Amino acid sequence: MSKMHLVMGGRVKDPQTLEFQDLTQVDLVGVYPDYASAEKAWRGAAQRTVDDAEMRYVIVHLHRLLEPELPGAGQPA
């Protein structure tokens, strides 16, 4: 399996957390085959909302969720 990465974001309840205010309004930027392309998409999305402290974008390592038994799956990126 390729190392798929999801870039998503939205308005959070508290800028210190990742608890989204409304899951129906989450911005699904896209799924990317490698971390470098996901990071590029994340930077673009995050920079568009840099002045809004309640907007937060993240990179989700889908390959770690889909195959948690792989070595390093429980480790931070």
Query: Mind giving me the DSSP string for 12-72?
Result: BSSTTS--BS-GGG-EEEEEESSHHHHHHHHHHHHHHTTT-TTEEEEEEEHHHHH-TTSTT
Query: What is the per-residue pLDDT across 29-48, written as a single tens digit (0 to 9) for each?
Result: 999 999 999 999 999 999 99
Average pLDDT of the chain is 89
- Residue ranges per domain, the chain? 5-66
Q: Identify the DSSP state of 10.
A: E
Label residue 25 by pLDDT band (50, 70, 90). Answer: very high
Q: Which CATH superfamily is domain 5-66 in?
A: Uncharacterised protein PF13773, DUF4170 (3.30.70.2400)
Confidence tier at 63 by pLDDT (50, 70, 90)? confident
pTM score of the predicted model: 0.80
pLDDT over 70 at 15, yes or no: yes
Looking at residue 3, what is its pLDDT? Answer: 86
